[in-house]
Chains A and B, each alone.
Chain A
Amino acid sequence: MWAPVSKIFSWSSSSLYLWAFLIGIGFGFFLERAGFGNARKLALQFYFRDMSVLKVMFTAIVTAMIGLVYLSYLGILDMDRVYLNPTYVWPALVGGWIMGVGFIIGGYCPGTAGVGMATLKEDSFFYLFGALVGMLIYGELYPYFESFTTSGFWGKRYTLEKWLYLSPKVIAFAVLVVALLAFWAAEWAEKKFQSDAEKDVG
Chain B
Amino acid sequence: MKGYMNPYLAGVGLGVVLLASFVIAGRGLGASGAMMRCVVSLQKVVSQEHVDRNPYLAKYGGGERNPLENWLVFELLGVLVGGFLSGVIAGRFKRETNHGPRFTKAKRWLFAFLGGGLFGFGARLARGCTSGQALTGGATMVVGSWITMLAIFAGGYMMAYFFRKQWI
Contacts and interface: CB of A to CB of B under 8 A. Distances in A.
A27 B21 CA distance: 10
Contact of B39 (A20, A98, A132): A132
Interface residues of A, number: 132
Contacts of B133: 85, 92, 96
A189 interface: no
B116 A113 contact: yes
Contact of A100 (B22, B125, B152): B152
Given A61-B139, A105-B111, A123-B112, A27 B57 contact: no
A44 to B, nearest CB: 6
Nearest to A82: B26
Contact of B117 (A4, A5, A63, A134): A134
A184 to B, nearest CB: 12
Nearest to A81: B26
Contact of B126 (A25, A92, A157): A92
A34 B1 CA distance: 11
Contacts, number: 550
A88 B127 contact: yes
A22 interface: yes
Contact of B76 (A18, A24, A197): A24
Name which of A33, A65, A121, A130 has the most chain B CB atoms within 10 A of its CB.
A33
B63 interface: no
B74 A118 contact: no
Interface residues of B, number: 126
Chief secondary structure at chain B's binding surface: helix
B168 A197 contact: yes
A110 B120 contact: yes
Interface in A152-193: 154, 157-163, 168, 171-172, 183
Contact of A29 (B74, B86, B124, B126): B86
Interface of A: 3-7, 13, 16-35, 37-41, 43-47, 49, 51-52, 55-65, 67-68, 71, 77, 81-89, 91-124, 126-140, 142-143, 146, 149, 154, 157-163, 168, 171-172, 183, 197, 200-202
14 contacts: A6-B24, A24-B75, A35-B5, A58-B11, A59-B11, A97-B155, A99-B155, A100-B154, A101-B159, A102-B155, A118-B87, A119-B93, A120-B95, A134-B120
